[in-house]
Amino acid sequence: MDILRYPARGVWSTLISRALASQASQVTDVVSAIMDDVALRGDTALREYEERFTGAHAESLAVGKDEIERAASLISVELRDAIESAARNIAAFHSAEMPLPVEVETAPGVVCMQRPVAIERVGLYIPGGNSPLFSTVLMLAVPAKIAGCPDIELCTPADADGSIHPAILYAAKVAGVDRIFRTGGAQAIAAMTFGTATVPRVDKIFGPGNRYVMEAKQQAALHGCAIDMPAGPSEVLVVADDSADPVFVASDFLSQAEHGPDSQSILLTTSPRLIDCLPAIIDEMLSRLPRRDMMMKSLGHSRLILMHDDAEMMEFSNLYAPEHLILNHRDADRLCTMVRNAGSVFVGPWSPESAGDYASGTNHTLPTSGYARAYSGVNIDSFMRKITFQKLTREGIAGIAPVVIAMAEAESLDAHALAAKVRTTTY
Amino acid sequence: MDILRYPARGVWSTLISRALASQASQVTDVVSAIMDDVALRGDTALREYEERFTGAHAESLAVGKDEIERAASLISVELRDAIESAARNIAAFHSAEMPLPVEVETAPGVVCMQRPVAIERVGLYIPGGNSPLFSTVLMLAVPAKIAGCPDIELCTPADADGSIHPAILYAAKVAGVDRIFRTGGAQAIAAMTFGTATVPRVDKIFGPGNRYVMEAKQQAALHGCAIDMPAGPSEVLVVADDSADPVFVASDFLSQAEHGPDSQSILLTTSPRLIDCLPAIIDEMLSRLPRRDMMMKSLGHSRLILMHDDAEMMEFSNLYAPEHLILNHRDADRLCTMVRNAGSVFVGPWSPESAGDYASGTNHTLPTSGYARAYSGVNIDSFMRKITFQKLTREGIAGIAPVVIAMAEAESLDAHALAAKVRTTTY
């Protein structure tokens, strides 16, 4: 961890830099070949890649209803209850986000409307590996269902024995996923982009993954399939004053660090005492946690920064545009009003990032790498389009025709003017 | 124009195809070189490209206040009034779209909020050429201002004499653009992506352009600058029954055709009479319009399709996912409720596309090429992020800690569990 005391503004641009792995062109080429192959050979290619990459010999790509039903009995009652409880909170918050139709008569006889309409078919990607990300199943499928998407597909890789973690299957069932497919990696993204005999082509792909999955999503976007957002390593920025409990701050730092070796944690504080005592507390906590080596890597590009005052901290935070922003500060509510760029904000000492990662109700699919400057996290809008309608009466078009004709002719678009003229004069 | 009578469903996938020009890799390479050059040499590179591509020898890239003020006197009173009137309607509709903050207590002591916050700095691109697209200035800058973006930049190429069309300057002034720069093409996109000494780096780029501009926007997105949406040639789909006036339909077809040689117009109708009489009416109108040759090209990939009934027409329309959908039908309101995929919909005989292109109040920056399946047109959301906040009380975290801990441990994220534990038990 770098410790910086009152860094000059001239070095801020360095301090907001991310530990971004530059994308090797080799990844681009490998993914491009997989995309082309799946587009061409469909299910046959999918099965071959699954066997090559995971060792799984999937008899059936589609997961059967019986396998999904059986999942409930394979996880603890406690975990089932937790999944249901988290799903309820996520549903409560995302239901409140639902946009309403808009209708305005902008001029006499000119009624304009905006109506939210759910995307027809969405594809969710859930990575495999040691940590089954069933929480991400909830974060994507619950809002998709609330938005009203009629078709929610999910792809996730099977283990070598062909099975999928039962917590993923149970979360998918609770959230209302329509179909689950046993495929992962770039080939799963390719399948949802182009469609195969088994996996349907979707309109938009959501979800996290490794660099191959991320590259595949970017290529999917160039092939006309929308994606949730660009992605980079996860990050947290903690703003703390001398009221902050160092143990809380340390645990938030480590939560972030365990996301992966590229994760970044930044502390901004006005408290010299906090800076001084934090490293020892983190070291002690680290010694008791299993993923120690990976966390050490992540902490290697983390920063503890001492600053003059709240205004300076919030200015830096807005420049950094963190995915997660924790305001562990006695005036946290006031600082909230100064937030311009962030993904999700955790207000006050009792709001750890892990609350939002799982159960508070907000979404944990958030913009990293400074994308919060222009992107929102996943929310109900992510699963809808807002279609506009306009209905003019005969008087309505007569009223605005002079405006349409003047502007169209000044833009040299005479047929545009004509379409207004034929409706308002005898042609 | 192809005329098809009751085509079998098996050929629909061909009928919804677009006349998409495949992107030549040469365009990618040219744009990539320009992006790198502007990133490296800034204003010097910008000036060289402007001189090379437009012949303009710009003394100053930034357009002066006096030049903007003078613009009003260089266009007609009629056009000034039209621009102001259109701006008012666009403002009325986009103001009504403004999202409200959301606040929900999802569990006792767990308050989740979603607050819309304007993007800090947006960049608008307006192409040059013979048709000055001042209407697009309104469509982008008016909602940006209403959203509350503090910094609205605009780039547009100058003519060979270094001047910018006064209607563009006047529209920019009316809409509240902060600064205007005399630069166009891929180099303008590069300038807004990386920033130069004169042109600031922006968070999101909006606006139309030729294939070089479009390619530059896609490359901008890979460099971390957001863009409004992917773009393709413009298109309209008209759904008409035997109540439709063929002259209205013909004028709508030609409005679309004059957008460019790649534009596509499709008519779906249940009326054999309409199909039979339309070609002659279009021919006659064409003979009186100046851009005849270009329109002939566009009409070359347009289609008149006879269908059995309304349900079939709407099914085809949703499969095509048109940018513009005109419902020239006696039951237009009923058909509206069947629209799943479209950019903007024009309801009834008195609602030509040109009304929405200029003055009804809806936005004319819309998803083409079937992107309406997953993308909305530009709207107030396009200029904002929705940032989430959560504030838990001590009781709040105590209440959901068991859920957080159970889920975190099942995902093997022990530090996540720890962050909840330290706040709820004596650590």
| pLDDT at residue A128, as a whole number | 87
Mean pLDDT within A339-365: 98
Any alpha helices (H) in B237-308, and if so which ranges? 246-257, 272-286, 292-300
Inter-chain CB proximity B102 and A107 less than 8 Å: no
Nearest by CB: B93 against A106, A248, A344: A106
| pLDDT at residue A54, as a whole number | 80
CB of B32 less than 8 A from some CB of A: no
| pLDDT at residue A22, as a whole number | 59
Mean pLDDT within B33-49: 96
| pLDDT at residue B59, as a whole number | 75
Q: Could you tell me which residues come within 8 angstroms of residue B69 by beta carbon, excluding any fewer than 6 positions away?
A: B173
Taking CB atoms and an 8 Å cutoff, what residues of chain B touch A258? 413-416
Nearest by CB: A374 against B203, B371, B423: B203
CB of A342 less than 8 A from some CB of B: yes
CB of B195 less than 8 A from some CB of A: no
Task: Say whether A323 is catalytic.
Answer: yes
Nearest CA in chain A to B380: A386
Q: Could you tell me which residues come within 8 angstroms of residue B308 by beta carbon, excluding any fewer than 6 positions away?
A: B6, B270
Residue A20 banded pLDDT, cuts 50, 70, 90: low
At residue B36, the 3 state secondary structure works out as helix
Percent of chain A with pLDDT over 90: 88
Question: What is the rounded CA–CA span in Å between residue A257 and residue A365?
Answer: 17
Backbone phi and psi for residue B104, each to the nearest 5 degrees, phi listed first: -140, 135
Our CA-based measurement puts residue A51 at a distance from the nearest CA of chain B, in whole angstroms, of 25
| pLDDT at residue A294, as a whole number | 87
Question: What is the rounded CA–CA span in Å between residue A373 and residue A99?
Answer: 22
Q: Could you tell me which residues come within 8 angstroms of residue B217 by beta carbon, excluding any fewer than 6 positions away?
A: B125, B189, B205, B209, B227, B231
Q: Which residues pair with A65 in a beta bridge?
A: none
Give contacts of A 161-180 with B, CB under 8 A: 167
| pLDDT at residue B61, as a whole number | 94
Parallel, antiparallel, or unpaired for β B303-306 and B264-269? parallel
Residue A355 has pLDDT above 70, yes or no: yes
For residue B360, give the nearest of A409, A410, A407, A386 by alpha carbon.
Answer: A407
At residue B199, the 3 state secondary structure works out as coil
Q: How many CB pairs under 8 A join A and B?
A: 422
The token pair at A382 is 């992510």
The token pair at B313 is 């027409």
Q: How many other C-beta atoms lie within 10 A of the C-beta of residue B63?
A: 23
Q: What is the DSSP string of A1-13?
A: -EEEES--GGGHH
In a mutational test of the B interface, the residue from A294, A423, A426 whose CB has the highest number of chain B CBs within 10 Å is: A423
Mean pLDDT within B402-421: 96
Nearest CA in chain B to A333: B391
Residue A195 has pLDDT above 90, yes or no: yes
Question: What is the rounded CA–CA span in Å between residue B388 and residue B113?
Answer: 5
Q: Residue B372 carries which DSSP code?
A: G
Residue B182 banded pLDDT, cuts 50, 70, 90: very high
Taking CB atoms and an 8 Å cutoff, what residues of chain B touch A358? 403-404, 407-408, 416
Our CA-based measurement puts residue A377 at a distance from the nearest CA of chain B, in whole angstroms, of 7
At residue A214, the 3 state secondary structure works out as helix
Contact B370, B349 (CB under 8 A): no
Give contacts of B 364-383 with A, CB under 8 A: 369-377, 379, 381
Percent helix, percent strand, percent coil in chain A, to nearest 5: 50, 15, 35
CB of A7 less than 8 A from some CB of B: no
Question: What is the rounded CA–CA span in Å between residue B360 and residue B365?
Answer: 14
The answer to whether the Cα torsion of B208, B211, B213, B217 is positive or negative is positive
Question: What is the rounded CA–CA span in Å between residue B170 and residue A34?
Answer: 51
Residue B21 has pLDDT above 60, yes or no: no
Question: What is the rounded CA–CA span in Å between residue B18 and residue A409?
Answer: 28
Nearest CA in chain A to B107: A89
Contact B142, B382 (CB under 8 A): no
Q: Which of A94, A323, A329, A353 is catalytic?
A: A323
Residue A282 has pLDDT above 80, yes or no: yes
| pLDDT at residue B56, as a whole number | 75
Query: How many alpha carbons lie under 13 Å from residue B400 in its C-beta half-sphere?
Result: 38
Q: Which of B94, B259, B301, B324 is catalytic?
A: B324
Inter-chain CB proximity B92 and A104 less than 8 Å: yes
Q: Which of A324, A329, A353, A364 is catalytic?
A: A324
Residue B35 banded pLDDT, cuts 50, 70, 90: very high
| ipTM of the shown complex | 0.96
Question: What is the rounded CA–CA span in Å between residue B210 and residue B129?
Answer: 11
Any alpha helices (H) in B114-198, and if so which ranges? 134-147, 166-175, 185-194
Residue A58 has pLDDT above 80, yes or no: no
Mean pLDDT within A278-298: 92
Residue A351 has pLDDT above 60, yes or no: yes
Q: What is the pLDDT of residues B329-383, one digit of tens each?
A: 999 999 999 999 999 999 999 999 999 999 999 999 999 999 999 999 999 999 9
Inter-chain CB proximity A361 and B106 less than 8 Å: yes
Q: What is the pLDDT of residues B205-260, one digit of tens each?
A: 999 999 999 999 999 998 999 999 998 899 999 999 999 999 999 999 999 999 88
- First-to-last alpha carbon distance for chain A, in angstroms, is 76
Q: Could you tell me which residues come within 8 angstroms of residue A33 by beta carbon, excluding any fewer than 6 positions away?
A: none
Q: Could you tell me which residues come within 8 angstroms of residue A66 by beta carbon, excluding any fewer than 6 positions away?
A: none
Question: What is the rounded CA–CA span in Å between residue A206 and residue A231?
Answer: 11
Task: Say whether B312 is catalytic.
Answer: no
Q: Which residue has the tokens 């809008």?
A: A381
CB of B119 less than 8 A from some CB of A: yes
Residue A28 has pLDDT above 70, yes or no: yes
Inter-chain CB proximity A390 and B355 less than 8 Å: yes
Q: What is the pLDDT of residues B140-168, one digit of tens each?
A: 999 999 999 999 999 999 988 889 999 99
pTM above 0.90, yes or no: yes
Nearest CA in chain A to B343: A387
Residue B274 banded pLDDT, cuts 50, 70, 90: very high
Residue A256 banded pLDDT, cuts 50, 70, 90: very high
The token pair at B419 is 């962050």
Q: Residue B186 carries which DSSP code?
A: H
Taking CB atoms and an 8 Å cutoff, what residues of chain B touch A120? 340-341, 373
Inter-chain CB proximity A344 and B419 less than 8 Å: no
Mean pLDDT within A345-362: 98
Q: In b/e form, how buried is each residue of A112-146, taking b as 16+ CB within 10 angstroms?
A: bbbbbbbbbbbbbbbbbeebbbbbbbbbbbbbbbb
The answer to whether the Cα torsion of A30, A32, A33, A38 is positive or negative is positive
| pLDDT at residue A24, as a whole number | 67
Inter-chain CB proximity A408 and B226 less than 8 Å: no
Question: What order of strands is seen across the sheet that includes strand B344-347?
Answer: A102-107, A110-118, A384-392, B344-347, B324-328, B235-240, B264-269, B303-306, B2-5
CB of A127 less than 8 A from some CB of B: no
Taking CB atoms and an 8 Å cutoff, what residues of chain B touch A384? 376
For residue A122, give the nearest of A391, A384, A343 by alpha carbon.
Answer: A384
